[in-house]
Structure formats: C-alpha cells, structure tokens
C-alpha cells in the first residue's frame, strides 16, 4: 500500500498478578490478544506507527484458596510510535 504497512496481530498472553505480602496468593491469567496496526514510512529509515491491541484474560481463584471463583479481564490499548530502521 505504498508507504503504509497495515498488519494484524493474534497471539496468546500469560499474566501473573503478584501479591507482595504472600507469593502463595499470586494470581495467574491467560487468554488471547488481538489487534490491528499501521506503520507509515516517513523517510527511508523513519516510520510512524499506530496500533490497537486488545487482551481477554481469564483466571481462577482456586489456586489462592477461593475454589469456584473466576475472573475475566478485558484490556485495550492504543499506541503511537516513532521508529527507525537500519
């Protein structure tokens, strides 16, 4: 697409929430991540990029003493970046 590179992202995320007072209470989550982005070449070595990324994570509190309780987390980010290629 000329100077623009459009791309998609699909992956898997592992996450741990650390409990500072007791490591036995650390909570683990996992799930998919997905997104779309574009990089636009400004010069031969400089580009400007933008990306939307979403994550859907699920976990179980059973590992920290609350069996049967689960949690879900939806996280969305939008980032803009300036980069260089060599």
Q: pLDDT per residue over 24-70, tens digit each?
A: 667 788 999 999 999 999 999 999 999 999 999 888 766 656 666 77
29 CB neighbour count, 10 Å cutoff: 19
Q: pLDDT at residue 82 above 80?
A: yes
Distances (CA, A) of 11 to 14, 15, 43, 70, 76: 10, 13, 30, 22, 14
Confidence (pTM)? 0.70
**pLDDT at site 15:** 83
């Amino acid at each position: 697409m000329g100077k623009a590179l459009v791309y998609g992202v699909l992956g898997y995320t592992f996450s741990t929430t650390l409990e500072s007072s007791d490591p036995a209470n650390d909570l683990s989550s996992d799930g998919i991540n997905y997104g779309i982005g574009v990089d636009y070449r400004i010069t031969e070595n400089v580009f400007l990029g933008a990306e939307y990324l979403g994550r859907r994570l699920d976990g179980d509190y059973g590992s920290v003493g609350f069996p049967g309780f689960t949690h879900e987390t939806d996280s969305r980010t939008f980032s803009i970046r300036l980069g260089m290629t060599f």
